[in-house]
Structure 1
Amino acid sequence: MTTLGDILGAARRSASGFQAWLAGSHPELARRVAETAQQTGLSTTGYVRAAIADFSRFADEEDWATLVSTMRDSSDPGTDCLLAMVDWRLTAKGCGEHTHAPSEHPHAHEGGPNERSLAGHR
């Protein structure tokens, strides 16, 4: 049985090929990721890895519950996990405050589950 840790690890390892796959399967989301990555000074791969790390560190209980439900109901839980984390990062309120540097992050993620939609990215 695949664990959530296995899925998160696979998502981290596959971040480098994510943009090419995303461009073919979800062109609008791919455009948003590339644009936001450029605005933040990150490569696309760096942005995807930051999205995974930020979700892991800053997502609240409702975000995690939604993610687990999405993965449970999915025929491709690894892909949906990665899509959900990237979407969360793109739509998180105060997203500019999210960073890997703990000393620079004044508080956890703000905003409720209604501010982010996991639907429509499958």
Structure 2
Amino acid sequence: MSDWANVTIPEGANTSRTWRLTSDGSPLGLSGVTVTAVIKPSEHYEDDDQLAHTLTQGSGLTIVDAAAGTVKLAVPTAVTQAPSSWFYKIIPSSSGETEPAVMGWIYITDA
């Protein structure tokens, strides 16, 4: 089951956020795991929709500490350009398993 975490970011921010991925309350080991994040206008959009932003290792997503299960996402400026809400999910993939570890809403507030 995925964890839920909502994030608030001010409009126009050039920022990143760090998440700790867990499984049953323990850090999710990320050594040898592929991690992808998707940020999209709502959960009703497909992950490959033209409005969705896909972040991968080396392209907007960094594994900060594999043993601690921490990842950092560089939030795209297209997401923070105006007050809005975006749905996100962070998906570790290992041995064919692709269930999101964490998901929630990114709220962009008026600056």
TM-score (ref. length: structure 1)? 0.24
The structure richer in strand per residue is 2
TM-score (ref. length: structure 2)? 0.26
The structure richer in helix per residue is 1
Q: Does 1 or 2 have the higher relative contact order (CA < 8 Å, sep 6+)?
A: 2
